[in-house]
């Protein structure tokens, strides 16, 4: 891609080299550690599901049982496999035995290691085959039905009731939406378990559960057949259950997942060590399943100034790219985040936004960038808000963004109504249609404001990445260089759920998903 901004390729290469070094340093810690969430994810992928008599998920029951017995460093896969060889039971039957007290995994006599590895490998292989099949189904449906043009029109539903969400989602699809995101209930990211079954009560959203995924997937497939295009389903695998929700999404054929450890660290105060380990496994799963991940750099601009701190967004995008590559997730599945969040009273603010959006496109040419709408400076004036959203839509089509979360003219007033969403879609379609090829027709002035702004932000991002490479990512977060939010390496929620892997540790899914057929 020829740079319209005259960005220095050497600077971009330097930024990537620093980001790779930053990610590699953290990867060493990730490779040596596991978490309670990673182990619960392995249990789910081996076939454990359901709840006990007090609604505690069986993956939690099994992992807590092993943890309390002091065996979690060996990994849940080993203990399940050992019991499978010893008893001839399935992982689900073993979990039920642990739940009712009839089976103690740590007191089960040790079996032949090769036999344990074999039964674990077969169970893991069955699930990997199922997830691979889901990916093939998606690809087949895309071939048969087709899809909307990029930028994909991305709309949210957030009623708290999955059945009401279905009604709203289907209406949005008929109006033109390409991606439906089911917003999670407020603070679900802080739950250290995944709720079970369909849910009809939530606060600010609907709980992410496997049954809710299944219900919405079925509804969108039905409506997609009616409108003649494949509809993508999005949810959130962030927070304390990041890889578990990624696994459930892979099992139920979700297409997009919000998946960013830095978001949880900064805005939910989740321990950075815990969530970076969790993020790696979640991205391995998403990469293998063909799920696009959305990253959360746009959130920095809700707590920091979009003009002064624009370089932190770019630096984080470089780091997220490298973390994703290490998890086997290709660039085509990295919806790196950014946002249209500059103060509309700034002179030439649109030109600065255009520079930022074009820069992201040029630096990450294969990524389906996720572009977020104005929220911070929406006032409740719906007429001005609709114009702000129109400017946002213009910047998006001009710079070839990949995923467009549509702005709502009623932002700052209330949760959008169906007609608010309809107006948002109408706005975007009008601008996208009338300006479809503006990016190919208009060039930027040599040495002009847009080029100078992009070059300045890139240079600042390179300098920040070099500093992070020197200091380390943990110290950088502790100093509040992302979003102006400071977090402690040994603070935050979930630290006690991190464990160093012991001798004989087993996670069959890493090898199968990173080394298997994509």
Tell me whether residue 298 is one of the annotated catalytic residues. Answer: yes
* Residue 484 DSSP label: T
**Are the C-beta atoms of 182 and 216 separated by less than 8 Å?**
yes
Omega into 129 within 30° of 0, i.e. cis?
no
- The H or E element that residue 337 is part of is strand 337-339
Tell me whether residue 154 is one of the annotated catalytic residues. Answer: no
Name which of 321, 369, 330, 333 is nearest 20 in CA terms.
321
**Are the C-beta atoms of 224 and 145 separated by less than 8 Å?**
yes
- Exactly one of 263, 300, 371, 474 is catalytic; which is it? 263
**Are the C-beta atoms of 403 and 178 separated by less than 8 Å?**
no
- The H or E element that residue 116 is part of is helix 113-145
**Are the C-beta atoms of 374 and 392 separated by less than 8 Å?**
yes
Residues 6+ apart with CB under 8 A from 172: 155, 157, 180, 418, 421, 425
* Residue 364 DSSP label: S
- Exactly one of 193, 255, 278, 370 is catalytic; which is it? 370
Identify the three-state secondary structure at position 344.
coil
- Exactly one of 255, 260, 298, 389 is catalytic; which is it? 298
Tell me whether residue 475 is one of the annotated catalytic residues. Answer: no
Cross-strand bridge partners of residue 339:
372
What's the CA gap between 22 and 465, in Å, rounded? 8
Catalytic positions, written as ranges: 263, 298, 370
């Amino acid at each position: 891609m020829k740079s319209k901004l005259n960005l220095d390729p050497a600077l971009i290469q330097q930024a990537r080299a620093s980001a790779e070094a930053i990610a590699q340093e953290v990867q060493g810690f990730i490779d040596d550690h596991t978490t309670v969430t990673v182990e619960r994810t392995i249990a789910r992928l081996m076939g454990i599901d359901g709840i006990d008599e007090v609604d505690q998920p069986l993956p939690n029951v099994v992992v807590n049982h092993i943890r309390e017995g002091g065996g979690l460093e060996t990994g849940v896969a080993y203990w399940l496999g050992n019991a499978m060889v010893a008893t001839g039971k399935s992982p689900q039957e073993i979990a039920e035995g642990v739940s009712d007290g009839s089976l103690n995994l740590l007191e089960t006599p040790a079996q032949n290691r090769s036999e344990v590895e074999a039964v674990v490998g077969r169970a893991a292989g069955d699930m990997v085959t199922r997830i691979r099949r889901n990916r093939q189904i998606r690809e087949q449906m895309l071939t048969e039905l087709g899809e909307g043009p990029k930028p994909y029109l991305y709309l949210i539903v957030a009623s708290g009731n999955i059945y009401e969400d279905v009604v709203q989602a289907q209406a949005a699809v008929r109006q033109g939406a390409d991606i439906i995101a089911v917003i999670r209930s407020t603070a679900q990211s802080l739950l250290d378990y995944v709720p079970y079954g369909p849910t009809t009560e939530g606060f600010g959203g609907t709980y992410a559960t496997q049954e809710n995924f299944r219900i919405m997937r079925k509804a969108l497939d039905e409506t997609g057949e009616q409108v003649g295009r494949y509809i993508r389903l999005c949810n959130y695998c962030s927070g304390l259950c990041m890889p578990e929700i990624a696994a459930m999404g892979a099992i139920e054929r979700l297409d997009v997942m919000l998946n960013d450890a830095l978001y949880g660290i900064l805005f939910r105060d989740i321990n950075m060590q815990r969530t970076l380990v969790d993020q790696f496994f979640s991205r391995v799963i998403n990469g293998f399943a063909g799920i696009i991940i959305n990253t959360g750099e746009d959130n920095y601009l809700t707590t920091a100034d979009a003009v002064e701190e624009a370089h932190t967004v770019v630096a984080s995008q470089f780091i997220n790219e490298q973390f994703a590559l290490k998890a086997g997730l290709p660039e085509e599945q990295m919806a790196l985040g950014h946002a249209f969040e500059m103060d509309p009273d700034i002179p030439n603010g649109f030109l600065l936004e255009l520079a930022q959006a074009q820069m992201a496109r040029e630096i990450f040419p294969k990524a389906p960038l996720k572009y977020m709408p104005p929220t911070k400076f929406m006032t409740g004036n719906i007429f001005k808000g609709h114009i702000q959203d129109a400017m946002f839509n213009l910047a998006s089509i001009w710079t070839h963004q990949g995923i467009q979360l549509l702005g709502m003219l009623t932002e700052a007033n209330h949760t959008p109504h169906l007609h608010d969403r309809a107006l948002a879609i109408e706005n975007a379609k009008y601008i996208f249609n009338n300006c479809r090829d503006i990016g190919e027709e208009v060039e930027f002035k040599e040495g002009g404001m847009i080029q100078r702004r992009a070059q300045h932000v890139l240079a600042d991002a390179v300098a920040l990445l070099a500093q992070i490479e020197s200091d380390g990512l943990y110290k950088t977060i502790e100093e509040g260089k992302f979003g102006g939010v400071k977090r402690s390496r040994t603070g935050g929620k979930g630290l006690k759920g991190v464990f160093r892997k012991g001798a004989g540790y087993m996670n069959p899914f890493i090898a199968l998903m990173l080394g298997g057929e994509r």
